[in-house]
């Protein structure tokens, strides 16, 4: 096995572990942080598989936009409950 295949396998294991963490996290705020980390790892996986354009999209959506939307929704829900 060459170094690229080992890196790809390692990154995929990290992605799978983080996805499991997202599923098992119950607190919405912690889940937003975990989703952001998952999006970042997914972008690293795309880079490891030589897809830099997809990695940039994954960073924009998975690591920034989705967690931001979750946090804004939480703020709206918690602000409306008072």
Q: Contact at 8 Å (CB) between 59 and 40?
A: yes
pLDDT digits (tens, 9 = 90+) for 12-26: 999 999 999 999 999
pTM of the model: 0.86
Indicate the pLDDT class of residue 78, thresholds 50, 70 and 90: confident
Query: Which domain, by its residues, includes 54?
Result: 3-80
Looking at the structure of the chain, the number of domains it has is 1
| C-alpha dihedral sign at 32, 35, 16, 18 | negative
Residue 7 host element (H or E): helix 3-24
């Amino acid at each position: 096995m060459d170094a690229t295949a080992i890196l790809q396998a390692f990154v995929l294991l990290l992605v799978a572990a983080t996805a499991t963490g997202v599923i098992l996290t119950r607190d919405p705020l912690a889940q937003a942080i975990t989703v952001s980390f998952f999006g970042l790892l997914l972008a690293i996986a795309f880079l490891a598989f030589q897809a830099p354009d997809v990695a940039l999209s994954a960073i924009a959506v998975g690591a920034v936009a989705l967690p931001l939307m979750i946090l804004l929704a939480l703020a709206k829900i918690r602000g409306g409950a008072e």
